[in-house]
Amino acid sequence: MDRRVALSRYRHPMMAEEIACRWMVNVAHAYRQTSKLVEKYDVITPERAGGGGEYPLQDGFGWTNGVMSKLMALYPRDSTYSDVNQCPKSSESPLKQPRRGTH
């Protein structure tokens, strides 16, 4: 079950949409920069490349492709955004923007 469905089932549809939107913006930004989809992204700071974990970053990762396709179908308007500031804001969002220069 994806996070959007889980959050929606627990009556947090705006939080689900915000997280989905931020992730789509991040994936699209990375794709514009590198011409490829990868496995890991930083949804808190979209300008920062993803990474870390047990193994190196994987190019063309199928999970990313599938989730991006699903989220674009669920949130077509949000899939057109190029900046996370365009994404809807949830009053209960767990995503806090770090202050510039603090990471």
> pTM for the complete prediction?
0.74
Range of the domain at 7: 3-86
pLDDT band at 102 (very low <50, low <70, confident <90, very high): very low
Give the burial class of 97: count Cβ atoms within 10 A of its Cβ; 0-12 exposed, 13-18 middle, 19 or more buried. Answer: exposed
In a domain, 37, yes or no: yes
In a domain, 92, yes or no: no
In a domain, 96, yes or no: no
**pLDDT tens figures, 15-69:** 888 889 988 998 998 888 888 888 787 777 777 777 777 877 777 777 888 889 9
Distance separating alpha carbons of residues 45 and 94, to the nearest angstrom: 13
Q: Per the structure, how many domains does the chain have?
A: 1
In a domain, 101, yes or no: no
